[in-house]
């Protein structure tokens, strides 16, 4: 039996920094990782997808050069080169983390799958480990829906689509949220004919309908087709093609769509099925670990961080979980996730930056709500750049004058929305931005028109 001060299961964006900060405190730490160091973000998520999206953006900008008076020859996408660039960047991140971990004498790395055999005992292969503090950061994997026939055809997930070396002639995407929309637009710009099927009646179903509608229009303008309020009911392979049956919820009959590849972007499942949660007595719901606002499970000394709790599935939230847990280990005044403001971005073009409540959520809460919204065509910088597809929207509590939430659908929307988040964190009145002086011409200058539209 190997005894440690702490065991960290998973080297994602909570587990990895936690291991090193605990080592800084002189703790002996066991890090267990069954795949690559860095977790989903570095290996299959943020790093590789945004790298490939950058290539897709260049292809798109080159094609529309004539709109700005710049004429180039035909645009050719070298997908193997795109993938090689992505792999190189991922490898650089991964090797950096491996080198850093190997340099720490009080960190022991175990390669393999972890399994609880008791509340504070972990098996990894033939090794038995124990520690007073155990931190679970195992993340999630793609959820494959039981679509009839899907098990008899080759299908793609977010993990496998980035290894393609040929651009699919026809790509059918199941799911119109973050994964589906980002890959759908990426491969449309690489040259695929793309159809996206979504069960809900709008894309990005959790977003306000007006925001979703503007984004859908922008994607349709690039040639992406949508089947909303619909579901895939069967997949068959005939004559080297996938024959996909799509049933609409509103309307008559079914549609049969041909595709060369199908991408499943229908959600995530927790990586806990082989973790032995029952042996440890750790409470969970369908594999999602139950944790309180301090990320503590029902078992004393065992914590769950990141996506595995079923909370907001973002890298920056996992890192925030690490910050909370690490702080609480060494400070009497405790921090929690309660009241945490959650920003996130959808890296389409235009990019959707979102923070806080949607208008729909704010009104459902019973508050007296003010709303401001403007199209990007009100922003001089957007006109000059030829990027007027999008909008800015803010939701305000009329009684407190505090911003409840905002959506910026714009180039750099994820960057812009964080300025509004700063007001939210300061509990400041929205009128501060109404009174501000903005540099002309910038995208941020749009906040003046946005605040002028509040009513």
The catalytic residue positions are 440
Q: Which tokens go with 318?
A: 């996992």
E strands present in 153-223: 170-174, 193-198
| CA gap 9, 16 in Å, rounded | 10
Helices 46-63, 79-102: axis angle to 10 degrees equals 150
> DSSP code of 429?
B
String of DSSP letters for 50-116: HHHHHHHHHHHHHHTGGGGT---------HHHHHHHHHHHHHHHHHHHHHHHHT-TTEEEEES-EEE
Is the separation of the CB atoms in 305 and 295 below 8 Å?
Answer: yes
- Residue 174 pairs in a beta bridge with 197, 264
Is the separation of the CB atoms in 16 and 33 below 8 Å?
Answer: no
| CA gap 366, 298 in Å, rounded | 33
Burial 323-338 (b: 16+ CB within 10 A, else e): ebbbebbeeeeebebe
| CA gap 414, 99 in Å, rounded | 31
| CA gap 29, 9 in Å, rounded | 11
| CA gap 223, 263 in Å, rounded | 18
Q: Count of alpha carbons within 13 Å of 368, Cβ hemisphere only?
A: 5
- The residues, ordered by sequence, that sit 6+ positions from 311 with a Cβ below 8 Å of its Cβ are 317, 337
Q: Which tokens go with 157?
A: 């997930």
- Residue 296 pairs in a beta bridge with 303
């Amino acid at each position: 039996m190997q005894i440690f001060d702490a065991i960290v299961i998973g080297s994602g964006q909570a587990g990895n920094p936690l291991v090193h900060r605990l080592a800084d405190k002189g703790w002996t730490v066991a890090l267990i990782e069954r795949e690559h160091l860095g977790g989903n973000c570095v290996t299959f998520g943020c790093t590789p997808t945004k790298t490939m999206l950058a290539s897709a953006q260049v292809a798109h900008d080159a094609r529309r050069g004539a709109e700005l008076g710049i004429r180039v020859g035909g645009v050719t996408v070298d997908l193997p080169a795109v993938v090689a660039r992505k792999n190189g960047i991922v490898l650089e991140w991964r090797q950096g983390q491996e080198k850093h971990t190997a340099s720490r004498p009080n960190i022991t790395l175990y390669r393999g799958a972890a399994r609880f055999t008791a509340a504070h005992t972990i098996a990894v292969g033939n090794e038995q480990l124990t520690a007073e503090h155990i931190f679970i950061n195992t993340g999630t994997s793609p959820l494959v829906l039981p679509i009839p026939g899907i098990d008899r055809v080759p299908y793609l997930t977010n993990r496998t689509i980035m290894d393609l070396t040929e651009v699919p002639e026809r790509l059918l995407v199941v799911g119109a949220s973050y994964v589906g929309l980002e890959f759908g637009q990426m491969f449309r710009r690489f040259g695929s004919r793309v159809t996206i099927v979504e069960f809900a009646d709008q894309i990005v179903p959790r977003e306000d309908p007006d925001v979703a509608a503007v984004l859908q229009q922008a994607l349709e303008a690039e040639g992406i087709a949508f089947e909303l309020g619909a579901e895939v009911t069967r997949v068959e392979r005939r004559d080297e093609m996938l024959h996909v049956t799509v049933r609409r919820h509103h309307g008559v009959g079914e549609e049969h769509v041909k595709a060369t590849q199908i991408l499943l972007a229908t959600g995530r499942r927790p990586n806990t099925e082989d973790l032995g949660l029952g042996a440890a007595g750790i409470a969970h719901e369908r594999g999602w670990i139950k944790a309180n606002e301090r990320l503590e499970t029902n078992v004393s000394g065992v914590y769950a961080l990141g996506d595995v709790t079923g909370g907001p599935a973002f890298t920056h939230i996992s890192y925030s979980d690490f910050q909370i847990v690490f702080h609480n280990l060494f400070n009497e005044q405790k921090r929690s996730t309660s009241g945490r403001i959650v920003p996130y971005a959808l890296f389409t073009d235009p990019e959707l930056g979102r923070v806080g409540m949607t208008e729909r959520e704010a009104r459902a809460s019973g508050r007296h709500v003010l709303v401001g919204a403007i199209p990007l065509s009100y922003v001089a910088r957007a006109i000059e750049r030829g990027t007027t597809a999008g909008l800015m929207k803010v939701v305000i509590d009329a009684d407190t004058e505090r911003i409840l939430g905002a959506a910026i659908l714009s180039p750099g929307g994820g960057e812009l929305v964080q300025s509004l988040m700063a007001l939210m964190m300061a509990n400041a009145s929205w009128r501060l931005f109404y009174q501000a002086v903005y540099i002309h011409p910038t995208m941020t200058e749009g906040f003046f028109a946005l605040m002028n539209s509040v009513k």
